[in-house]
């Protein structure tokens, strides 16, 4: 038979395997817990969407839509896309299911994969994951403040200190066009001195120049007029209320007048949180207001605000800080010696598993030394040994794998014995050292 070639994962995508996925679960659990405390409900939208949804919301001439989106024609000719982000999907669902009729703000969160065809590197993948939340139906600055407070709490729960919250207002349809005119004029005076991308942006989408990452451009960009000097009275009042409330809630932030977000639909509040433990890709999350998005997608007027956390980068940061432990692994390994010990071993395993303990046992006859080796390789906290002698006496050996200490325990007492030693702490959330 000819040797088959190996099939590998698609470039920019990766398999996440245990035990690494234990940390992902831990982080997702923390997020769900914090979101629940702020009364957010989970929404799960499809990964496949009409391509037009993103062209209309994210913006037809953004990098995401022109260069990064995976689009294809379905067999019946419909243009589909793998979602590059989820805010547009959430707003589509909000309109499609008439959630605005519920007479209150809607607070929704999601966790799932997104797809962008970017150049893969550390912290940047073609399939990546986001945890995000959206609040629809109100433009009250109190909502912006609450959302940011919630994010800070989540990062704190994950043990991430050294994060910076960068805050800006990008104005709205009243004041931004005026600012863009001013910006355009300022850029005309810099013609020829900025990078090629910026020269192009200066003509097509001047706000994007502010987002330029090219080092040599930064001194020039720093000289450009600030949008904060051009906000209309309504946007200014909104931004001031937000800052006052952040102060009241004890949320620390830095004003970042050059912060614009990569998507077209943002209005007013825009923010980003960066982590100093990440390298070049240091933005852990981004978000902001999008008061016109619902109408852009054919829905009613429904102001909204949201954020998306890059989960892959969040995990990198959590690993770098090393304070959050993955979900607990194996509690008990059962080593049985001789065929006669298998049925009681199975019985004990079943009993412990029904009590939610994580249990592993030998599937094939093995020598004690090998079983103990397996148990320690798997990180078992305790090993229960059932051999001929133990069968005869009805007392099993229970070995604490960390200390090596071994004790004889009556068969019926093993569950209780383990409970006393690890039971109370085993499922409890590991406390984060502060």
Dist. CA 403–CA 405, nearest whole Å: 5
Structure-block tokens of residue 71: 């689009």
Neighbours of 149 (CB within 10 A): 17
Please, which residue, 275 or 371, has the CB nearer to ligand ATP? 275
Instruction: List the one residue from 59, 137, 286, 303 that touches ligand ATP (CB under 6 A).
Output: 286
Query: By CB under 6 A, is residue 125 in contact with ligand ATP?
Result: yes
Query: By CB under 6 A, is residue 283 in contact with ligand ATP?
Result: yes
Contact 65, 58 (CB under 8 A): yes
Please, which residue, 141 or 310, has the CB nearer to ligand ATP? 310
Grouping H, G, I as helix, E, B as strand and the rest as coil, residue 271 is strand
Stretch that binds ligand ATP, among 103-111, 177-185, 307-315, 325-333 (CB under 6 A): 307-315
Residue closest to ligand ATP when measured from CB atoms: 310
Structure-block tokens of residue 161: 């200190």
Instruction: List the one residue from 49, 264, 312, 362 that touches ligand ATP (CB under 6 A).
Output: 312
Query: By CB under 6 A, is residue 130 in contact with ligand ATP?
Result: yes
Contact 358, 332 (CB under 8 A): yes
Helix (H) / strand (E) element for 393: namely helix 388-393
Please, which residue, 288 or 303, has the CB nearer to ligand ATP? 288
Structure-block tokens of residue 254: 């830095």
Query: By CB under 6 A, is residue 13 in contact with ligand ATP?
Result: no
Query: By CB under 6 A, is residue 306 in contact with ligand ATP?
Result: no
Please, which residue, 128 or 336, has the CB nearer to ligand ATP? 128
Query: By CB under 6 A, is residue 179 in contact with ligand ATP?
Result: no
- Among 311, 310, 301, 309, which Cα is nearest to 91's? 301
Query: By CB under 6 A, is residue 313 in contact with ligand ATP?
Result: yes
Residue partners of 338: CB distance under 8 A and separation at least 6:
365, 387, 388
Helices 176-188 and 196-204: angle between axes, nearest 10 degrees: 140
Please, which residue, 155 or 284, has the CB nearer to ligand ATP? 284
Query: By CB under 6 A, is residue 387 in contact with ligand ATP?
Result: no
Dist. CA 223–CA 221, nearest whole Å: 5
Shortest reach from residue 411's CB to ligand ATP, in Å: 51
Contact 375, 361 (CB under 8 A): no
Query: By CB under 6 A, is residue 308 in contact with ligand ATP?
Result: yes
Structure-block tokens of residue 14: 């990766």
Scan residues 74-93 and list those touching ligand ATP (CB under 6 A): 85
What residues make contact with ligand ATP under the rule CB under 6 A?
85, 116, 118, 123-125, 128, 130, 262, 281, 283-286, 308, 310, 312-313
């Amino acid at each position: 038979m000819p040797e088959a070639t190996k099939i590998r994962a698609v470039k920019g995508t990766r398999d996440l395997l245990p035990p690494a996925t234990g940390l992902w679960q831990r982080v997702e659990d923390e997020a769900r817990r914090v979101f629940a405390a702020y009364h957010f409900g989970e929404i799960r939208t499809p990964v496949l969407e009409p391509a037009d949804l993103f062209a209309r919301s994210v913006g037809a001439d953004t990098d995401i839509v022109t260069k990064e989106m995976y689009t294809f024609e379905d067999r019946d000719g419909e243009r589909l896309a793998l979602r590059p982000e989820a805010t547009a999907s959430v707003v589509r669902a909000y309109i499609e299911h008439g959630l605005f009729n519920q007479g209150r703000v809607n607070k929704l969160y999601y966790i799932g994969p997104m797809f962008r065809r970017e150049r893969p590197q550390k912290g940047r993948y073609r399939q990546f994951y986001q945890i995000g939340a959206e609040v629809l139906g109100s433009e009250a600055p109190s909502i912006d403040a609450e959302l940011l407070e919630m994010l800070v709490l989540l990062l704190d729960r994950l043990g991430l200190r050294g994060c910076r919250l960068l805050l800006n207002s990008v104005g709205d349809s009243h004041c931004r066009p005026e600012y863009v005119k001013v910006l355009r004029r300022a850029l005309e005076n810099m013609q020829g001195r900025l990078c090629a991308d910026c020269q192009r942006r200066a003509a097509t989408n001047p706000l994007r120049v502010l987002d330029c990452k090219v080092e040599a451009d930064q001194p020039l960009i720093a000289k450009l007029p600030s949008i904060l000097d051009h906000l209309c009275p309504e946007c200014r009042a909104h931004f001031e209320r937000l800052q006052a409330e952040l102060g009241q809630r004890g949320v620390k932030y830095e004003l970042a007048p050059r912060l614009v977000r990569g998507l077209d639909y943002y209005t007013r509040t825009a923010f980003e949180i960066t982590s100093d433990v990440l390298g070049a890709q240091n933005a852990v999350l981004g978000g902001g207001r999008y008061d016109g998005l619902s109408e852009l997608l054919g829905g009613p007027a429904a102001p909204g605000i949201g954020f998306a956390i890059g989960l892959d980068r969040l995990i990198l940061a959590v690993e770098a800080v090393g304070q959050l432990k993955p979900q607990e692994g194996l509690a008990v390994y059962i080593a049985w010696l001789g065929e006669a010990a298998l049925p009681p071993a199975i019985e004990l395993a079943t009993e412990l598993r029904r009590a939610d303990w994580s249990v592993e046992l030998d599937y094939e006859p093995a020598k004690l030394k090998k079983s103990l080796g397996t148990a320690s390789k798997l990180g078992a906290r305790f090993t229960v040994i059932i051999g001929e002698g133990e069968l005869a006496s009805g007392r099993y050996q229970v070995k604490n794998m960390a200390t090596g200490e071994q004790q004889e325990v009556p068969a019926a007492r093993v569950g209780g014995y383990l409970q006393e030693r690890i039971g109370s702490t085993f499922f409890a959330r590991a406390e984060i050292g502060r």
